[in-house]
Amino acid sequence: MRILARREPETTLTRWNPFRELEQFRREMDELFNRFFDYRPSLVTPTEFEFTPALDVYETPEEFVVFVTAPGVSEKDLHVELSDNTLTVSGERKALIEGENVQAHYVSRMGGYGKFTVSYTLPTAIDESKVKAVYKNGILEVRLPKAESAKPKTVKVEFER
């Protein structure tokens, strides 16, 4: 579901570029196909429950902000890596009670438990020296500032007289 905020009309005009919408559509289709074809069902016994955290990505003119919802994951079991503009978050959410003679009969805790990896490839260059990650209340927030070369530039037009 998309929620749009009502804004005051902007005074600047932006030329419509149909290829921008096509590029956005291509990215969304790539993400859809990646989700479908990267799905590898595993052999799950009745005592195992797979966990996959939710991933939200936002973009501002200055940075990308990524939220990974991973409640119940210990800070020491959470790993963040940025390589070739791809952010990868991996970790493990462990069962509340573990042991050889422990059998889960009913688990309603959202998403179960187990090892996980989520990745997202960013569409522009990132200033890797300024990346910050904070994990609080089960939500990992990663701030990825854009490289100066990737930020939009405004050029002042001078008129000759």
Q: What percent of the chain has pLDDT over 90?
A: 29
Q: Which domains does the chain have, with CATH numbers?
A: 50-95+111-149 (2.60.40.790)
Torsion sign across C-alpha atoms 40, 138, 79, 48: negative
Provide the pLDDT for residue 111: 63
Q: How many alpha carbons fall within 13 Å on the CB side of residue 46?
A: 5
pLDDT above 60: residue 114: yes
Taking only the tens place, the pLDDT of each residue in 6-63 is 555 555 555 667 777 787 888 888 777 777 666 544 444 444 557 788 899 999 989 9
What is the rounded average pLDDT of the residues 100-127? 80
The pTM assigned to this predicted structure is 0.61
